[in-house]
Amino acid sequence: MSVLTIATQAFLDQKPGTSGLRKKVTVFQQTHYLENFVQSIFNSINAPQGATLVLGGDGRYYNRTAIQIILKMAAANGFGKVLVGQGGILSTPAASCVIRKYQTFGGIILSASHNPGGIDGDFGIKFNGSNGGPATETVTDAIFAASKVITQYQLVDMPDVSLDTLGVSQLGAMTVEVIDAVSDYAELMASLFDFTAIRDLLAGGFRIKFDAMHAVTGPYATEILQHRLGASADSLMNAVPLEDFGGGHPDPNLTYAPELVSIMHADDAPDFGAASDGDGDRNMILGKQFFVTPSDSLALLAANATLIPAYRGGLAGVARSMPTSAAVDRVALALNIPCYETPTGWKFFGNLMDAGKVTLCGEESFGTGSDHVREKDGLWAVLFWLNLIAARRQTVAEIVREHWAQYGRNVYSRYDYEALPTADAQAVMAHLLASFATLPGQQFGKYCVQHSDDFSYTDPVDGSVSTGQGIRILFVDGSRIIVRLSGTGTEGATLRIYLEAYDVDVANHHLDAQVALAELIQAALQITQLQQLTGREQPTVIT
C-alpha cells in the first residue's frame, strides 16, 4: 500500500457551523479543499489505530467523489474499517443508528441537509462522535484550528472501491464494508413502534402521501412504509434520490413542498401527509387541509408518548431549542417532567440524552427526535404520528385541536430572510443589541416589552457555556419575538424572526397563524427595523 503525503496550504474559511462545514459544490471542488478539512478532522479526533468509521451521505452531487477521497484518506490515516451505506447513501439519522449499533468510533456524514443540490448547489461534511451525535463545540473548534495550520494530508494511491454491491473489500490494510443501512434503520423503527397497528390502519383505508423530495429518505420510506407497513406504491412521491433533488429545494415546509401541500388541500386529500428533507432528519406533518407546526408536533408527541411502545414507561424529560415555541413546556409541566431550553443545534440535545435527562426533543426548524439516536429523525416522526393516529383513531386536525383545548395554543410562525448581504443582517442584530436599554416597558399595540436579552446557555451536563445564541424580546403576556442568524446557509446571511403568542381562547383556535399574529408581526418589523436596514419588504419563506 503506497501512502502519499501531499503538500497543501490552509484555507481560512473552514469553520464548521451548527451542522458541519457547508459550502457551494464548487468550493469543495477546489484543489485540496475537501482533503484539507478531512485531514483536519482526522488530526483532531484522536482515533486509535484500527478504529472503525461510518461514512455516507444524502446522495447529492459530489457525494460519490467525496466518499472515494475520504476512504483513501482514512486508509492512510490508520483506520481499520469503514462502514459505507450502499451506493454511498446514508441518511443522517441512519448514520447515527449505524454508529450506535456497531459501536464505531464515529462517522463522517456528507450532507448539506435541506439546502439545494446539484453541480451549482451546496455540499456539506460533518463528523459525528461515538454516541452517534454531532461533534461537540470543543471538537469542531479543534477541527477549525487544525484547518488553519494544515500543511499536508495523506491518502493511499489505490483504485476506487465499489459502493453499490453489499459486501467487503480491501483498501490496502483497511476493510471497506458496504452495508444495508436501510435494513438497520428499519429494524430500529420496528423496535420502537407498533407496526401491526399501523399496518392495520393503512389496510383499513387510511390514505397517506409521503414526499421524499427526491432525497435520501426515498429508499427508507419505500422499505418501511410500502414493504413493511403495506402502504400502496402511489402513497410515496419523489422517492428516487437524485443528485440535484430533481431541481427542487429539499426543505419540507409549506413553501418548498408545494406539490404535497396542494395534494393535502384538495377535496379528495389523503388522511395524512408528510415530507422529509435532503438528509432525512427533518419532517413536515399535514392532515387534510391542516398543517401541524413543528413546535406543536413536539408538544403532541410528548403528550401522547405513552401510547407508543417505546415510550410507555414515560419520559425522563423533554428539550427544545430556544426559538421553538413553549408548547412543549406546558406539556412537561402537566407531566411533571423537566423541560430544557437549549441553543439551536442537536449536539446540545445529545448531551442531555446521554445523561439520561431527556427522552424527546425538537427544534422549530422541522426537526424532532428521541433518544433512539442522536440526530433529529424525519421518518421516526412520521411513524410516531401514524402510530398515534392508529391508537387514537382521530384525524390529524382533531388531535391537534383537542390538544389546544387542553393546553392552549402557542400560535407560532417563522419568517426567513435568506441570502441577505451579511452586513445588512449584522446591522439588524446590532440595532437590536443597542436597543436593549430602552425596549423594556415600551408598548407595541397590545404588546408590552418585559425583557430583552442575547440568549446564553450553560450546559447542565458538562458546564460549557454558549453565548450569542439569538436575541429574545419577551412580552408581559408571555408572547415572544426571537431574532437570530442561521448557521445553515452558504450564501450571504439568513436572518430568522420567530413569532409566538399564547392563546387559551378556543374561539380563536381556528384562526390562521398569520391572522392571529398580525399585530405581533408588525411589532417585530417595527422593533427590528428590518425593512429599513435590509431593503427587504417580504421574507423568503414563511412557516
Residues designated catalytic? 113
Q: What sections of 251-377 are H helices per DSSP?
A: 258-264, 294-303, 327-335, 346-354
Nearest by Cα to 274 from 282, 304, 266 = 282
Nearest by Cα to 281 from 148, 126, 464, 432 = 126
End-to-end CA distance of the chain: 53
Give every CB contact of residue 267 below 8 A, 6+ residues apart in sequence. Answer: none
Output phi, psi for 146, to 5 deg.
Answer: -65, -35
Yes or no: say if 66 and 28 are a contact pair by the CB < 8 Å rule: yes
Give me the helix-helix angle, 396-407 and 327-335, nearest 10°.
70
Q: Give the three-state DSSP class for 539.
A: coil
- Residue 313's Cβ-count burial label (10 Å; 0-12, 13-18, 19+) is exposed
DSSP 317: -
Calculated CA dihedral for residues 231, 232, 237, 238, nearest 10 degrees: 90
Q: Give the three-state DSSP class for 474.
A: strand
Question: For the chain, how many helices (H) and strands (E)?
Answer: 18, 27
CA pair distance 90, 58, nearest whole angstrom? 6
Yes or no: say if 208 and 273 are a contact pair by the CB < 8 Å rule: yes
Grid cell digits, residue 411: 400560535
Q: What is the largest CA-CA distance in the chain?
A: 73
CA pair distance 447, 459, nearest whole angstrom? 32
Q: What sections of 289-444 are H helices per DSSP?
A: 294-303, 327-335, 346-354, 378-392, 396-407, 422-434
Grid cell digits, residue 308: 407508543
Which residue reads 463522517 in cell numbers? 108
Calculated CA dihedral for residues 217, 220, 225, 230, nearest 10 degrees: 140
CA 429 to chain centre: 24
CA pair distance 294, 300, nearest whole angstrom? 10
Q: How many CA atoms lie within 13 A of 185 on its CB side?
A: 32
CA pair distance 513, 404, nearest whole angstrom? 14
* Region of residue 296 (phi > 0: left; psi between -120 and 50: alpha; otherwise: beta): alpha
